[in-house]
Structure 1
């Protein structure tokens, strides 16, 4: 299934590179655009496509969550191979002796056959949310139920709710995207 996004767009004598995000979630598209623009000091054309993560709806652990991010980027590339970059973002949860915590993996591929990845910081989830996740609910749905929200995962997400908006989902993902871009910003070193 190919979509008709332009490969490059001429804009004030500058070429815009195309980035395809393996999600239609507006937060994931927006944070990708923001992070790439900030990292490279130029603007990009960013579009999202619905892709399968190939993992459970609520990934658990580093391995499954990273696999979901890689699959999203790879499937975005299969859907629209004419782009310059493909980005997969997958949120997951895990547990340790302190409780359940949330995080996300970022995976980026380029048209130069280069890839990179980075992980966000982690934060612990309240017991009520943890119980709902353990019962089979996704984190976003659990947040909506516990905090009387509607579609919070396409807004500030758990991190936004729990930090009272100090760190929203866009800022949370943006930093990890920039970190995943390090090899692309330093091609002579990687």
Structure 2
């Protein structure tokens, strides 16, 4: 199996490789087709799907995988939440999977509402650099109990599941 991953972010690549460890994988820098800070489930899902399509189109892989993190404002329960989605396509159909979601603190949420992106806002709030290439917001706000790779594995496994079940892998 040959898998094209629509990102060169090592956390995203590692998540895919954990789900399909025997696959030959290639990381491809592609555009998501959504804003740098996706808002809402629809925009985040669309970004993941766009990345999967673009990765597949740029290679001769069997599957394209896209992963997109975003934020979503929810009325119940209230606040701004971290969301993450993955998409896997074989060129004929696309399957989706979601990762865990977590409430972001009010100061971070307000910065996002004011137009900032989550990664830079968190880096600034926490005095860190490139948190998104490390444990991510999910790692910070679960005190390291769930890292970004772990969370993305769930999303990728959910998206890859139907293909793997059908192929017997």
Partner of 1:105: 85
Partner of 1:31: 15
Take 1:115 and 1:131, find their aligned partners in 2: how far apart are those partners?
Answer: 34
Partner of 1:40: none
Larger radius of gyration: 1
Take 2:25 and 2:107, find their aligned partners in 1: how far apart are those partners?
Answer: 36
1:138 partnered with 2:117: yes
Partner of 1:21: 5
Take 1:66 and 1:45, find their aligned partners in 2: how far apart are those partners?
Answer: 25
Deviations 1:108-136 (A, max 9, x none): 0126x342111112110011111111121
Take 1:85 and 1:185, find their aligned partners in 2: how far apart are those partners?
Answer: 11
In structure 2, the residue corresponding to 1:121 is in which secondary structure?
A: coil
TM-score (norm 1): 0.82
Aligned residues: 165
CA RMSD of aligned residues (A): 1.4
Take 2:82 and 2:64, find their aligned partners in 1: how far apart are those partners?
Answer: 23
1:65 partnered with 2:44: yes
**Paired residue for 1:185, among 150, 161, 164?**
164
Deviations 1:55-91 (A, max 9, x none): 11101111111111111111112211x1111100011
1:93 partnered with 2:77: no
Unaligned runs of 5+ in 2: none
Q: Runs of 4 or more off by more than 3 Å in structure 1?
A: none
TM-score (norm 2): 0.92
Take 1:183 and 1:96, find their aligned partners in 2: how far apart are those partners?
Answer: 29
Deviation, structure 1 residue 181: 1.9
